[in-house]
Amino acid sequence: MMTNPTGRITQGQFSFLPELTDAEISLQIDYGLKKGYAWSVEYTDDPHPRNTYWEMFGMPMFDLRDAAGVLMELNNCRKTFPQHYIRLMAFDSARGIESIAMSFIVNRPASEPGFSLERQEGNGRTQRYTIRSYAADRPEGERGNGKA
Amino acid sequence: MESGTEARTEGATAITDAKKRYRAGVLKYRQMGYWEPDYVPKATDTVCLFRITPQQGVDPVEAAAAVAGESSTATWTVVWTDRLTACDTYRAKAFKVEPVPNAPGQFFAWVAYDLVLFEEGSIANMTASLIGNVFSFKPLKAARLEDIQIPPAYVKTFKGPPTGLIVERERLDKFGRPLLGATTKPKLGLSGRNYGRVIYEGLKGGLDFMKDDENINSQPFMHWRDRFLYVMDAVNKASAATGEVKGSYLNVTAGTMEDMYERAEFAKDLGSVIVMIDLVVGWSAIQSMSNWARRNDMILHMHRAGHGTYTRQKSHGVSFRVIAKWLRLAGVDHLHAGTAVGKLEGDPLTVQGYYNVCRDGFTRQDLPRGIFFDQDWCDIKKVMPVASGGIHAGQMHQLLDLFGDDVCLQFGGGTIGHPGGIQAGAVANRVALEAMVKARNEGLDIATQGPEILRKAARFCSPLQQALDTWGDITFNYTPTDASDYVPTPAVAH
């Protein structure tokens, strides 16, 4: 159990709010589609803050213009990886942006063990810090309550 | 608008006969060639718009010509050495003068400058001309540089922001919402250890950034190394506690460049993602620190300390929109650009104009927002504007409505002064922010429904309820001193 005020990992746009329902997620997807973004689904069992590349659950859905389709992909991912972190990401390909425009977590493992902070003492009172995912202590494929 | 003041009087135009023009003595500036009403600025010219208040009896056209003269090649008398140069091309040219609407005695003067006049990649050089002698010139009661159009040919001599707001978001892994920060308070007096406590609580509670204030450098109560060490411990602890990338702007402002480099290097060695400097360090120091930040993958935060001394009064000084343009070229990643609703000066539309200058790919003329010129930014990176100073969670709907997602909202007192403590203050702000972004995306009109959205969110978040109970009614509704001349706008009502 993490000790921050939410008790969980706070990455993404909406981690401080109650879990979004599928209807609420659809509204967010619609907002992105209206802006011309492409949605994609990504999942991981190692939510380290610097773990940039979560696994892609298929390609970004550049040609999908319907929230129901995106939600279907998300639910497929949830069925396959129920104990993983899953995030929805919207890409904006407009010149000068060409990056992620929205990102929020839509699935979490039942328990979120969080991270340890390891310190290595250096000269002049300096310290080297290493953040370790407790979840990553186990081998790939054996994390997330042994499933997946 | 009324057409410009015509140059009709005797001696109103440039003297073309070289023998007469260069006879020793004193001529009017417009006789010397600094007034060219037919001039069409070249695509490579810089164009400045000055607001001038000529002394009693001084003709506005002559005053405009004097501005062109004193900000380029002129001295008070004719000099024969002009004739050793292609002086016609070096002279700035005033080409239009118009009375300022509803401001008796004030005139707008447009002045064009040839590309050759400014050293490539040097804001110091450009400012030495444009806001040098001319602002002390006696025949003018007052002068203000209102706006500037910088040609692509000159823009491309600058590298611009070392990181830019897009790459900053990628590095921080934060998308689709404003960033959230707080300035550590009290500004002065905390020991390094106590200071780090505030950083840890704020970041763990949900903020993305904490921030040194402008006047925290290395004073007897807290030397810089001590601050950096404790702050970075707090940043890393908070990152582990939340699973998010966190940062704290370490102010490396110091008495010399050598000291600033030393402090910045130490911040880098400790793993900080960001350092900050104050505007008062000066243009050359800013550009040097920008180069350093670019070499070291560091976000460079600019605190605009001191700008109010010359940006605030409408009649004299330099508009902040010009300072923002220069800072984008000089290369900063964050820039304090006003809140409109907080404790510091700022008419909402005028402030939006500053934000657009920071973030646009191409800025269009927009008179209600005080933008007089189109500006092509030539793909130079975008600056993340920072809203800081007397703002609180109860204003979240106004802030998001005014500024959109690409802004860093900083609630200093509004976090640290929370009755439930610093973490509770951070939670209140983060919940208010996320609830407002979510509601806006869902299609709600946050400008009108904002207070209701906040009240609803407060039902599941008691720290937000406490924040609204404490500060809900606090507003700073004073008439701005620097609003557009084209539409009078009231302060934002609560």
- Beta strand pairing call for B408-410 and B384-388: parallel
Chain B nearest CA to A79, separation (Å):
25
Which is nearest to B337 in space by CA: B277, B329, B348?
Answer: B348
pLDDT of residue B8: 42
Residue A95, CA distances (Å) to B102, B329, B361, B409 in order:
41, 19, 9, 25
B65 is written with which tokens? Answer: 């010509």
The answer to whether the CB of B208 falls within 8 A of the CB of B174 is yes
> Cβ contact (<8 Å) for B237 and A117?
yes
Chain A nearest CA to B442, separation (Å):
5
pLDDT of residue A83: 95
**What number is the ipTM of this complex?**
0.96
pLDDT of residue B493: 45
> Cβ contact (<8 Å) for B243 and A117?
no
pTM (predicted TM-score)? 0.94
Q: Helix %, strand %, coil % for chain A, to 5? A: 25, 30, 50
Residue B225, CA distances (Å) to B54, B205, B247, B448, B481 in order:
51, 25, 17, 47, 40
> Cβ contact (<8 Å) for B176 and A127?
no
Contacts for B492 with CB less than 8 Å, ≥ 6 apart: B340, B341, B348, B398, B402, B477
> Cβ contact (<8 Å) for A49 and B245?
yes
B424 is written with which tokens? Answer: 């509770």
pLDDT of residue B492: 53
Chain A residues with CB under 8 Å of B237 CB are 117
Q: Does A5 touch chain B (CB under 8 A)?
A: yes
pLDDT of residue B485: 82
Q: Does A108 touch chain B (CB under 8 A)?
A: no
pLDDT of residue A19: 97
d(CA B329, CA B375) in angstroms, rounded, equals: 12
Mutate to test the interface with B, among A6, A9, A14, A16 (most CBs of B within 10 A): A16
Q: What is the mean pLDDT of chain A?
A: 94
The answer to whether the CB of B165 falls within 8 A of the CB of B384 is yes
d(CA B384, CA B401) in angstroms, rounded, equals: 16
* Local structure of B28: helix, strand or coil: coil
Averages of pLDDT over each 10 residues, chain B, 494 residues:
42 85 89 95 98 96 95 88 92 97 96 98 97 89 97 98 98 98 94 97 98 96 97 98 98 98 98 98 98 98 95 95 98 95 82 97 97 98 94 94 97 93 97 98 97 96 95 73 70 48
Q: Does A134 touch chain B (CB under 8 A)?
A: no
> Cβ contact (<8 Å) for A10 and B382?
no
> Cβ contact (<8 Å) for A10 and B242?
yes
d(CA B146, CA B47) in angstroms, rounded, equals: 11
Name B323's bridge partners.
none
The answer to whether the CB of B260 falls within 8 A of the CB of B277 is yes
Which is nearest to A24 in space by CA: A84, A89, A104?
Answer: A104
d(CA B146, CA B363) in angstroms, rounded, equals: 15
Q: In a structure prediction context, what are the per-residue pLDDT tens digits for chain A, which is 148 residues long?
A: 899 999 999 999 999 999 999 999 999 999 999 999 999 999 999 999 999 999 999 999 999 999 999 999 999 999 999 999 999 999 999 999 999 999 999 999 999 999 999 999 999 999 999 999 998 888 887 775 544 3
Chain A nearest CA to B160, separation (Å):
14
Chain B residues with CB under 8 Å of A97 CB are 166
- Beta strand pairing call for B209-211 and B247-251: parallel
Q: Which of B205, B243, B379 sits opposite A96 (nearest CB)?
A: B379
Q: Does A90 touch chain B (CB under 8 A)?
A: yes
